[in-house]
Amino acid sequence: MVKNQHKINLTAAACRAIVLFKENDYTLENQHLRISIKGKGCDGFTYQLGFDLPHQKDLVLDYHYHDSHFYILLDPFAAFYVKNALVDYQLLEDRSEGFVLENFDQYLYHGKFYKDKSLTPNF
């Protein structure tokens, strides 16, 4: 597992997938794995993970895996809500494969969008 100060950890499978994609897909040049919030339901947020170009206000997380170096991008909204998470690369139930994010603080965001004014981001 790779760790950083933002507590977004990556499994070895996620690291291997990022490195493999970046090394073998020329269309991903200058792109990095982005974590974003896709939507919100009663059970909390849903997440979207995919490769994207960096944006000016992104939080950029730096990772090393063996001899490889790569970045994870979070826009300010995702960076506020995704502070303690695990990213994995898995074979999914529908036989597809992809990145999966487990937000360990997801329980804080069940129900109404803002339960507590102290959780409201100030962008």
pLDDT, tens digit, 9 for 90 and up, residues 65-90? 999 999 999 998 899 889 999 999 99
- The hierarchical CATH code for the domain 8-119 is 2.60.300.12
Extract the tokens encoding 73.
């991008």
pTM for the full predicted model? 0.80
More confident residue, 94 or 41: 94
Please check whether residue 77 is in contact with residue 123, taking contact to mean a CB–CB distance below 8 angstroms. yes
Sheet holding 32-41, edge to edge: 44-52, 32-41, 68-74, 59-65
Please check whether residue 14 is in contact with residue 88, taking contact to mean a CB–CB distance below 8 angstroms. yes
